[in-house]
Amino acid sequence: MPSKLDQLRSMTVVVSDTGDIETVRRLKPQDCTTNPTLLLKAAEMPAYAHLVDEAIEWGRAQGGSGAVHATCDRLALNFGAELSKIVPGRVSTEVDADLSFDTAATLDKARAFIKAYEARGVGRERILIKVASTWEGIRAAEVLQKEGIDCNLTLLFSLTQAVAAADAGAFLISPFVGRILDWHVKAGEGPFTAETDPGVTSVRQIYAYYKKYGISTVVMGASFRNTAEIEALAGCDRLTIGPALLDQLAADEGVLERKLDASNVAEAPARIELDEKAFRFALNEDQMATEKLSEGIRLFVKDLRTLRGLVARRLEGAQAA
């Protein structure tokens, strides 16, 4: 009997949710996605000191007041370029979370990333630019998609965000399953089964909506707390999964049942029309999505600032030497 991971791969594109290059090499996912938290963890691992050292040396040569931010971008590119040599598909690189409410700055950052990747011989068809699913982020994605730069709309917790992302022509969305569950558990709800898990039901609703209305935007479930959530979404377009859960699936030889199928979708909500006012009001009405989006941005910014602090200290040390 094939493992559940192998069975999952037969019906869903499996993406590795890590910046750990050796883990990606071992698990052989189709795609790979990173974020500030994962990049920070990888940057602190001795195995990748050479990627950090290269970025620091480059940053020292650049100098100037923007050296820290530029060096962090260089570090993200170093990891992204290495990952692109291992996975056959896409690598997601995230725009700074503190730009989540700045469309123009998000566009500048995304274009700079793509230009830098192309200078390294990594074509834009290999990269997804990760942008927070704020109104401003979605508007940036709309422009980037028209320029041939595919986007991954992250920190997505609601059908409202999913509809707006699809209307903008986003290549892919990353609904956060586990964080939705976290909110409901903290609110005193449950216990939940895999079938009643609010994160699972949210992704199933989005999937049904997209398939019913012929929307081509890829649905990639993310942020899993256990393998039961993953199994409950077997058949989803893509699933991005952390190494520990991938290992659990690889060790399990039970039967994995397909739960999602584009040719046989569940009942979907009526078609939703959104302008900016309707988007903001609908998101505000969804307490869970509003709180988790805000929290998610804060947490990513916290880790981004920690990474910048690490880089700043290294740059100062390099200059002193």
Q: DSSP for 197-235, please give it.
A: -HHHHHHHHHHHHHHHTT--PEEEEB--SSHHHHHTTTT
Start-to-end Cα distance in the chain:
58
Query: What's the pLDDT at 36?
Result: 78
Domain boundaries, the chain: 4-317
Show which residues are catalytic. 130
- Provide the whole-model pTM: 0.94
The tokens of 301 are what? 């910014």
Question: How far is it, in rounded angstroms, from Cα 312 to Cα 217?
Answer: 38
Question: How far is it, in rounded angstroms, from Cα 112 to Cα 50?
Answer: 23
Query: What's the pLDDT at 275?
Result: 98
Question: How far is it, in rounded angstroms, from Cα 75 to Cα 73?
Answer: 5
CB 197 within 8 A of CB 233: no
Note down pLDDT in tens along the chain; length 321 residues. 899 999 999 999 999 988 888 889 998 899 998 787 878 888 888 989 999 999 999 999 988 889 999 999 999 999 999 999 999 999 999 999 999 999 999 999 999 999 999 999 999 999 999 999 999 999 999 999 999 999 999 999 999 999 999 999 999 999 999 999 999 999 999 999 999 999 999 999 999 999 999 999 999 999 999 999 999 999 999 999 999 999 999 999 999 999 999 998 878 999 999 999 999 999 999 999 999 999 999 999 999 999 999 999 999 885 554
DSSP three-state, residue 32: strand
Q: Which of 266, 233, 212 is nearest to 14 (CA)?
A: 233
For 53-120, the three-class secondary structure string (H helix, E strand, C coil) is: HHHHHHHHHHCCCCHHHHHHHHHHHHHHHHHHCCCCCCEEEECCHHHCCCHHHHHHHHHHHHHHHHHC
Query: What's the pLDDT at 321?
Result: 46
- Say whether domain 4-317 belongs to CATH 3.40.47.10: no
Query: What's the pLDDT at 319?
Result: 55
